[in-house]
Structure 1
Amino acid sequence: MSIPVVDFSAYGLNEKAATDEQLRALSKELKKALTEVGFVFLKNTGIAEEEVRPADAIKAARRFLKVLQAEYACFIFWVCGVTADENGTTLRSLYYPPVNSEKAKEGQLRCGEHSDYGTITLLFQNSDGLQVRRRSGEFICAPTIPGAVLINVADLMQRWTSDQFVSVLHRVLLPPVGDCSTRQSLAFFVQPDDEALITCCDGSNKYPPVSAGAYLIERFNDSYGRN
Structure 2
Amino acid sequence: MSIPVVDFSASSLNVEDIDQADLRQLSGELKMAFTEVGFVFLENTGISQAEVDDVMDASRRFFLQPDHLKRPFSRKTFPNNPNHGWVSLEAERLNPQKPGDLKEAFNLSSLHPDIKWPTSEAQAGLRETQTAFFHRCKELSLRVLRVMAHSLDVDPDVFLNAHRLIGTDENGTTLRSLYYPPVRSELAKEGQLRCGEHSDYGSITLLFQSAEGLQVRRRSGEFICAPCVPGAVLVNIADLMQRWTGDQFVSVLHRVLLPPAGDPGTRQSLAFFVQPDDEAVVTCIDGSQKYPPVRSDAYLNERFNDSYGRM
Question: Per the shorter chain, which TM-score range?
Answer: over 0.9
Greater Cα offset, 129-138 or 209-218: 209-218
Shift of 1:224: 3.6
Which SS does the other structure have where 1:33 is aligned?
helix
RMSD in angstroms over aligned alpha carbons?
1.7
CA distance in 2, matches of 1:224, 1:152: 23
Q: How does 1:53-202 map to 2 (within 5 A)?
A: 53-70=133-150, 71=152, 72-73=154-155, 74-78=158-162, 80-104=164-188, 108-202=192-286
Tell me the TM-score normalised to structure 1 length.
0.94
- Greater helix content: 2
Please say if 1:217 is aligned against 2:301: yes
- Structure 1 residues 106 and 225, CA gap change in structure 2 (3 angstroms): closer
Greater Cα offset, 45-54 or 31-40: 45-54
Give the AA of the match of 1:109: L
Give the AA of the match of 2:147: V
Give the AA of the match of 1:170: H
CA distance in 1, matches of 2:229, 2:163: 27
Tell me the TM-score normalised to structure 2 length.
0.69
CA contact 1:117–1:156 (8 Å) conserved in 2: yes
- Structure 1 residues 220 and 107, CA gap change in structure 2 (3 angstroms): closer
**2:7 counterpart residue number:** 7
Which SS does the other structure have where 2:50 is aligned?
coil
CA contact 2:195–2:257 (8 Å) conserved in 1: yes
- Greater strand content: 1
CA distance in 2, matches of 1:127, 1:54: 21
Higher relative contact order (CA 8 A, sep 6+): 1
Greater Cα offset, 43-52 or 216-225: 216-225
Give the AA of the match of 2:241: M
CA contact 1:69–1:76 (8 Å) conserved in 2: no
Count, aligned residues: 227
**Identity across the alignment (%):** 70
Which SS does the other structure have where 2:175 is aligned?
strand
CA distance in 2, matches of 1:96, 1:223: 18
Shift of 1:61: 0.3
CA contact 2:43–2:232 (8 Å) conserved in 1: yes
Shift of 1:101: 3.1
Larger Rg computed on CA atoms: 2
**For structure 2, which runs of at least 5 residues remain unmatched after alignment?**
53-132
**2:37 counterpart residue number:** 37
CA distance in 2, matches of 1:79, 1:108: 35
